Structure 1
């Protein structure tokens, strides 16, 4: 069996990378009246009325709040957002990532985000999936039964079998407490490639690379769902991102994992 000595992309999701036209990548695009009437986001904060932050406001649970600047209002809402994030991220090595992401959202003006912890978490997620329809299981099984010598035929075959696979996602129970469920949860775009594949007799060594991207932002469908619209955390996030008052920019999170597979080819 002949191997390959250069990168061969074997799978790419239909959702493309760097899609800034996606709804969850929009910011400052919704008027206050629409947010209040259609999205039921009149009062989202315990501390400040986002619609009249330039005026004193009498909140039922607090004393009268003095007028603040736009910058101060944004800072107050981010502070409340961070303080509530621990409800979704309180256990394990990744619990602080969500704070880093909101810090990035506040300061980076929409630039991409990468972090070593996200790469580590992604690699562990891929390796933890043992089901026969997981991507890594399918890749390993396919290599062990591989009989193609031409890269193009190999690519077409992998694309076909991987289209039936279950892509890695942070939907396990532990992801809802360790920070990855709120940090990423779903993954928008995935590319899988074979970086190298060598054979020595029937024994093979394959270097597989996963490249992934998610959108750190909320779309309109998200906030209209009861499970999001009823939680203060998501209400504040949506207001910070989508109202013209604040227009805080969402961004792409990029992460990757490289995994070496070994085994024997049966053909």
Structure 2
């Protein structure tokens, strides 16, 4: 958690020459971030990029930044086509623009995490593996979980699949772009109540991701082909802009219940 030394948390550390060496020459369809020359609408530029127009006008650095962020938000639409989480990507872009690296929280992220955990019924679900460990190992006579079986709970997490938003539907509902993979996950058993015939456990999931790009991301042709990522990388890493990436925090508490088997 809170790893500010991660490679995708760097900002303002690359020059124009270094960015162009990463093949970031055609960044925006609206403005050239290096010359601050505005590019008129030509009718042929797309998210993939086709080069600069011969006609252009000079803008200030702040005007250039505003144009880039507006374009950044506009291009985000193709990654968040529908659903209750589709608004998040625009909010996070605006957060990057105005909040100087402050962490981001939103109730929608907590809800997305909760739904992901509850809907994961795969054999690698940490929720189901933890429940299985309780079912098998609880000492009903003593109404306690044995100390020598703690490793069963640890293994349920180590060998389970942590909640990540890399499913097919996440490519279109906005979660694949706002979170996708995750950086750190803490899973804590907050309480375990055992009576004669049943138990109830509360398990807290705390997940953190980084809203930032590193060199590996932009070197990937699947990312670099989109203006969305080229603009994002330049806004974050160009030493004339240096907008700070930030931590995205989400958490939820899941209830696990079970009954004593006859």
TM-score if structure 2 supplies the norm length? 0.89
Instruction: Say whether residues 1:77 and 2:68 are aligned partners.
Output: yes
Tell me, in whole angstroms, the C-alpha distance in 2 between the residues paired with 1:103 and 1:57.
23
Change (3 A) 1:228 1:147: same
Higher relative contact order (CA 8 A, sep 6+): 1
Q: Contact conserved, 1:223 with 1:235, CA < 8 A, in 2?
A: yes
Instruction: Quote the residue 2:48 is aligned against.
Output: none
Instruction: Say whether residues 1:23 and 2:7 are aligned partners.
Output: yes
Q: Give a deviation string over 1:85-129, Cα, whole Å, max 9, x none.
A: 000001011111000000100000000000000000110011110
Alignment of 1:13-92 (within 5 A): 17-37=1-21, 39-53=22-36, 62=53, 64-92=55-83
Q: Give a deviation string over 1:180-237, Cα, whole Å, max 9, x none.
A: 0101000110000111100111300011110010000011101100100111110100
Instruction: Quote the residue 1:193 is aligned against.
Output: 188
CA-CA distance at 1:139 after TM superposition:
0.7
Change (3 A) 1:102 1:92: same
Instruction: Quote the residue 2:232 is aligned against.
Output: 237
CA RMSD of aligned residues (A): 2.0
Tell me, in whole angstroms, the C-alpha distance in 1 between the residues paired with 2:216 and 2:27.
18
Q: Contact conserved, 1:146 with 1:265, CA < 8 A, in 2?
A: no
Residue 141 of structure 1: SS of its match in structure 2?
helix
Structure 1 runs (4+) greater than 6 angstroms displaced: 56-59
Instruction: Quote the residue 1:7 is aligned against.
Output: none
- Mark the runs of 5 or more structure 1 residues left unpaired by the alignment: 1-16
- Mark the runs of 5 or more structure 2 residues left unpaired by the alignment: 43-50
CA-CA distance at 1:159 after TM superposition:
1.5
Alignment of 1:1-267 (within 5 A): 17-37=1-21, 39-53=22-36, 62=53, 64-147=55-138, 149=144, 153-266=148-261
Tell me, in whole angstroms, the C-alpha distance in 2 between the residues paired with 1:163 and 1:263.
22
TM-score if structure 1 supplies the norm length? 0.88
Residues matched between the structures, number: 249
